[in-house]
Amino acid sequence: MPTQPDSQAVKDYLMDLQERITDALRATDGGAGFRQDSWERPGGGGGRTRIMQDGMVFERCGINFSHVHGDQLPASASAQRPELAGRSFEAMGVSLVAHPQNPYVPSSHLNVRFFIASKDGADPVWWFGGGFDLTPYYGFEEDVLHWHRNAREACAPFGADLYPRFKAWCDQYFYLKHRDEPRGVGGLFFDDFAEGGFDQAFAFLRSVGDHYLTGYLPIVNRRWAKTYGDRERAFQKYRRGRYVEFNLVFDRGTLFGLQSGGRTESILMSMPPEVSWRYDYHPEPGTPEAALYERFLVVRDWLGEEEGAAST
C-alpha cells in the first residue's frame, strides 16, 4: 500500500525550516533582526512573515511560511492541471528571497511547497514543488560552481537524473522571454513532483530545503565585506529591475498568492527595496558588468564544463 500524504508532517518540517534559516541568516547578518507578522487569510489559513531590512549584510531578506486552504483552486494552479478544477485544496510552503547590501553578493531565492487537492469519493491528488536559484550582479565562477555542486548533492541520493533535469527546468523557468536572458545562473526547479510515492518525494523536498544554507552562506561570507562604490551599486539596482520584472510577469508563486487571496505584503516581500531602470542600457565592453552578460547570463553546463576541463 502506498503511503498516504501526511500534511501535518510537511507543515512541521516547513515551520522548522523557516526557524533554522531565520536563525542562520540573523547570525550571518549580525545587525538587524527579523520582524515577524503573523496573518490570517479570510478564505482559510494564514502564515507568518519574517523580514529583515537594512542590516549589515542584507538590505532586505524575507522568509515567509504560509498554509492556506479553500474550496476551489485558483486559476494559476488549475490552469496547469485542469482536471483539478472544482476540488478543495490545501497549499503550504516556505519562500525566501535575500537581497544583500553589497553588489558583489548575489541575491538568492528558495521555495519549497506542497499542494494537495481533494474531492469526495476520489483519491487526493498531491505534489511537491520548489527549488532554489542564484542571481549575481558580478560574476565569480567559484561561487557559481559551489552553488551547482551543492544543488547536485541535494539531488544525488534520489537519482543521478534529477540534477540535470531540474537544473535544465530552472534555466527554462527563470528566463525573461521579453529580455531574452536568464534571471541569473540557475539552480534547481521542480513542480508536480510525486515520484516514488509520498515518503520519497517528501524526503527529496527536505533535501532541497536543507541544502539552501550550505549553498548560499559560503558565498555570502566570501563576498559581503568586499569594497564597492557608486558604480557597482548603480549596476546592482539596474539588474534588480530584472528581478522585479520576472516576479510580476512570470512567477507562478506570486500569481498563485495574489489569485488565492493571500497577504499582499507577504507575497511582494520578494521585491528588492531599491531598483532602477535605464533606457537601452548596455555595459561598456571589457568591463565586469559586460562579463556578467557574456559569461554568466547564459545557459551553461557549469559542472560539465568544470569536469571536462579537469579531465584534459
Is 109 known as a binding-site position?
yes
146 is in an annotated binding site: no
Catalytic site positions: 109
8 A C-beta contact, residue 243 and residue 285 = no
Cβ-contact 88, 68 below 8 angstroms: no
The reply to whether 197 sits in an annotated binding site is no
Cα distance between residue 41 and residue 104, in whole Å: 38
**Three cell numbers, residue 15:** 515551520
81 annotated to bind ligand:
no
Q: Is 35 annotated as a binding residue?
A: no
Say if residue 69 carries a ligand binding annotation: no
Identify which of 116, 206, 215 has the alpha carbon closest to the alpha carbon of residue 157.
206
111 annotated among ligand-binding-site residues: yes
Distance CA 267, CA 265 (A): 6
- 278 known member of a binding site: no
Residue 233, annotated as binding a ligand: no
Pairing of strands 58-70, 175-176: unpaired
Residue list, annotated binding site: 95, 99, 109, 111-113, 148, 178, 261-263
Residue list, annotated binding site for substrate: 95, 111-113, 261-263
Residue list, annotated binding site for a divalent metal cation: 99, 109, 148, 178
